[in-house]
Structure 1
C-alpha cells in the first residue's frame, strides 16, 4: 500500500488561526508512518517549529499547488481562486453541496483537474454523525459575542482570545436578557448554552420538537436568539423579513451560528451577507433596533481550544485513511454533488 502523504496547507483567510491537525497529533501521524508536510503560516496558532519537532517536513505557504499528485491536501476554509484545475484530493469545508454561491465553479475545478473534494462536513460515521466538527466552539462563541454586544461590552474589531479570558468578560458583563437557543441539543447548541450559563443566563431551549411547529411569536418575544440549526433539506424558515416588522417585537439580538446564507436550506433568510471580525455586528432594523452576528469562522476566535478538540476527533479517521468507510462516503458525496449539477468526468480519482 502506498504511504499516505498529508499536506497541511496555510489558510489564505487572514482571520483563520485554526488548524485541523495540531503538533501533538501530527507526531502520532508521523510515528504511524504518515508523511506530513506542513506549510509555514504566520497566523496559525501553532508555529512551524512545533511541527518540525514532531517530525513533519516544512514547506512554503501555498506550495501545495506543486505537491506530489498523490498528496492529500488538508485545510479548513476556502481555497484561493487559482489554480483553475485542482489535481489533488483536498480535505476541507467546501460548502459546495447545498447550492451555495460559487459551489458549481469549485466542483468544476476539481473535475477538470482530476482531483476530488473530501468535505469535512460530510465525514460521518455509519449512523451519519459527524466525526470531526467545530460546532461546540461555534455555538459557544456565537452566544458569547451576542451577550457581550447586547450588554454593551463587545470590543471590536474582534481578536483571538482564550477561554479563561472570554469567561471573565462574560461574568463581568451585566444586564438582564431573555435568551433562546434553537437547536439546543446539538453540539453547537450545547456550546451556546454553556456560554450563556457563564453569563448568568438560563436560556429557553428549543430543538426538533419545538421547531417542527415553530411558534414565531414566542421566538420574537425573546431579546436574544442564537440559531444553531443546520439542515440538509429545505424547511420553513424560522424568521422572515415580515416577522421582523411585526409590532411588539422584543427580539434585539440575533446570532446565526449556522451562517447558511445563500443556500436554499437557510432557515434565517433575513440577511444576505455575513459579518466579520472587523464589523461583527450589523443592524437589521432600526425601530425597534435589531442587530445580527453572522460570522462564518467563529471558532477561530478561540484557535487553540478549537483546534485541539477538532484535531483529536480527526486523528482516528486520518490514521485509517483509505478507500472505504467515512472517506469512501465523502468521495461518493462529491461524485453525487457533481452529477446533480451535470458536472461529470469519467476520470474521477479514487481515494
Structure 2
C-alpha cells in the first residue's frame, strides 16, 4: 500500500489542487491510501474528497505522517520543519540557482527526505510529463491584452475560463502580440487566448530565437515569454532594448517567471508581480513598459488548470516506482551533491 498525502497550500492565493477528487477516487480504487488536508482556499470542497474515499486531516498535519508517505503539493513548503523526512512531490524550483534553493536542499539533507520535483518528472526524451504550462500561457496572454486595453480589474480574483473569455472577447484594441516558445504548452495556451481576443499573434519558437531579431521583437506591443530554459541562454531582452527609442513594446508577460534563476531569459526585472499588483512599470514616461510576472498564474483558473494537471499526474501516481520517478530522484541526489560542494 502506498500512502499519498495531499497537503494544504500555504500560499493564500493558491486555489489549485495537484489531485482533484475524481482522480483521487481512482487512486483509492487502485489500492492507494489517500489523505487530504482541509484547505479553506482550495477550489474543490473537502467533502468531495471524502466521498472519493479519502481520509481527511487538518491543514499542515503532513509533518506527522508516517515516514514512507509521499506528500503532494504544488507550491512552496512552509519554513518549518527545518528537517524534511518525507518524499515530497511538488514544484520546488530548486535546481537552477533560484533564491532559497540551497537552504531548501539542506532541509532535505537534514531530515533524510527526498524531493521529487515535478519540473523534473520527465520521459526518456527529457520532456516534462506534467505541467500547468497551457493554462499559464493562456492566463499570461489574457492578462497582458486586458492590461494594455485598460480593462484589467485588480486585485485579480480567481474565476472560470468562461468569465475570462467574455472579458477577452469584448471589443477593444487588438495589439501586436509576439509569443515566444509558441509550440510548447505555454505557447499554445497563449495563442489560444489571443484567438479569443481576435488577435493573430506572431509565433516564434526555437528556429526564430536561435537567430534573434530584436528589432522585430520590439516592433510588437506585447511580448509573451513561454520559453522553459534549463541552462543559461541569450536574453530575449536587455535593459538597453527597453530604452530603444524605436521600440514599440508596452507589455511583457513572463509566463515562466525564472527571475531568480541563472536561466532567466528576461533579465530586465528583479522580482515577480502579484495578484494585488499584476503589472509593474519597468519604464515610465512617454512610452511606459510594464511587466506581468505572476508565479502561480494558472490559479486564476483553478478548476480548469487543476483538472488538466491532475489527469496527467494521476496516471504517474499509480506507479511511484516507474522510470520517471527514478529519474526525478536521481536529479535530486545530483542537486544535493552539487549543493554540498557549492
Instruction: Provide the rounded CA distance (Å) in 1 between the counterparts of 2:234 and 2:324.
Output: 31
Q: Which residue of 1 aligns with 2:27?
A: 29
**Aligned residue runs from structure 1 range 41-60, under 5 A:** 41-60=39-58
Q: How many residues align?
A: 341
User: Aligned to 2:165, which of 162, 167, 172?
Assistant: 167
Q: Would the aligned equivalents of 2:121 and 2:129 in 1 still touch at CA under 8 Å?
A: yes
Instruction: Provide the rounded CA distance (Å) in 1 between the counterparts of 2:319 and 2:122.
Output: 13
Corresponding residue SS for 2:207: helix
Pairwise CA RMSD: 1.0
Corresponding residue SS for 1:30: helix
Q: 1:338 to 1:293 in 2, by over 3 A?
A: same
Q: Which residue of 2 aligns with 1:327?
A: 325
**Aligned residue runs from structure 1 range 267-282, under 5 A:** 267-282=265-280
Is 1:296 matched up with 2:295?
A: yes
TM-score where L is the length of structure 1: 0.96
Q: Would the aligned equivalents of 1:111 and 1:343 in 2 still touch at CA under 8 Å?
A: no
How far does the alpha carbon of each residue in 1:290-313 deviate from its partner, in whole angstroms, 9 at most, with x for none? Answer: 111000000000000000000000
- Unpaired stretches in structure 2, ≥5 consecutive residues: none
Instruction: Provide the rounded CA distance (Å) in 2 between the counterparts of 1:121 and 1:62.
Output: 23
TM-score where L is the length of structure 2: 0.98
Q: Which residue of 2 aligns with 1:143?
A: 141
Instruction: Provide the rounded CA distance (Å) in 2 between the counterparts of 1:53 and 1:176.
Output: 46
Q: Would the aligned equivalents of 2:138 and 2:193 in 1 still touch at CA under 8 Å?
A: yes
Instruction: Provide the rounded CA distance (Å) in 2 between the counterparts of 1:243 and 1:129.
Output: 32
Q: Which residue of 2 aligns with 1:316?
A: 315
**Aligned residue runs from structure 1 range 121-200, under 5 A:** 121-200=119-198
User: Aligned to 2:17, which of 16, 19, 25?
Assistant: 19
Q: Which residue of 2 aligns with 1:349?
A: none
Q: Which residue of 2 aligns with 1:347?
A: none
Q: Would the aligned equivalents of 1:253 and 1:291 in 2 still touch at CA under 8 Å?
A: yes
Q: Which residue of 1 aligns with 2:236?
A: 238
Corresponding residue SS for 1:292: strand
